[in-house]
Structure 1
Amino acid sequence: MSTLQVSVVTPDGPVLEGDFNMVSCKAESGELGILPKHAPLVAPLAISAIRLKRDNETERIAVSGGFLEVSDNQVTILAKAAEKQEDINLTRAEAAKKRAEERLQSQKDAIDHHRAELALRRAINRLNVGRS
C-alpha cells in the first residue's frame, strides 16, 4: 500500500514528519481527505485539527491556519502554529480560552473583537485536539 510523506512545519521549525495512509483536514473551503496519488493541490487551512491516519492509528495536530500543499504523494502543511495532541497543555489552553472569552465581553473595537474571536477559536481547537 502506498503512503503519503507528510511534513508539518511552522515558523519555529518542523513539528512532524512521517509516512501516513491518509490526511484529513479542514480547509477554508471545507473538509479535505488526502489519499496517496491525490491530484496536486494548494489550499488555505482553517483553525482546525489535522488528522493523520497510519494503519489503525490516528494522530491529531492542532493548527492555527496556514496552507496545505499536495504534490507527488507529499503533503506539506505550512502552519502559523501547530501542536501535537500529546504536547498540548490543557491547563494553558483552558486559561487562554477564558482570557479570550473575557476579552470578547469587554471589546467594543471591531478589530480587537475579531482578534479575541480568533484567539477563542484557537484555544477551543487546542482543547478539542488535546482531549480527543
Structure 2
Amino acid sequence: MVRRYIAGDLREWCWWIDQLLSRGDTLLVYQSFNEAIFSVISILMGLNKIYHPGYKWLKYSLAEMSIQPENLGERIQQAYQLAPHQGFVTIQSLVLESYDLAVQALPQFAEEITHARTRFLHQRKRFEHEPSH
C-alpha cells in the first residue's frame, strides 16, 4: 500500500499547485490539497499497518497511528483555514515528512521514495506568455 501511494498521483504536484495559485484557480487548488492529503493518509495507514477504511472518521484513524508527522490532524485542518499559498506550504511539508517516515520504516524502498520526492517537487519551465484562447 505504501508503494502504491508513494508512486501515486503526486507527480509535479508542487508545480501544478504553483500554476493553479498563479491563475487564481482556488477550487482546483483545494481539490489538489485533498488528493495530496488522501495520499499522505494512505501512506501512513500502510506504514502503521492499519486497515484502510476510507477517509471518513479520520480523527479516529489518526489517533491509531504511531507513525505520522507531528500534529498531523491539526496541520491538515490548518491547511484549509490558511490562505491557499500558506496551505500549500503546509501540505507540501506533510507530504515530504511522510516520505521521510516511509524511508525510515522501509529503507528497502528508499530509492523509490527518493524518486517520488523528486517527481513531487519537480518544477516545469514557466510560459513566458499565457496561452491565447
The bucket for the TM-score relative to the shorter chain is: under 0.3
Q: TM-score, with normalisation over the residues of structure 1?
A: 0.25
Q: TM-score, with normalisation over the residues of structure 2?
A: 0.25
Give the structure with the higher percent strand: 1
Structure number with higher relative contact order (C-alpha < 8 Å, ≥ 6 residues apart): 2
Give the structure with the higher percent helix: 2
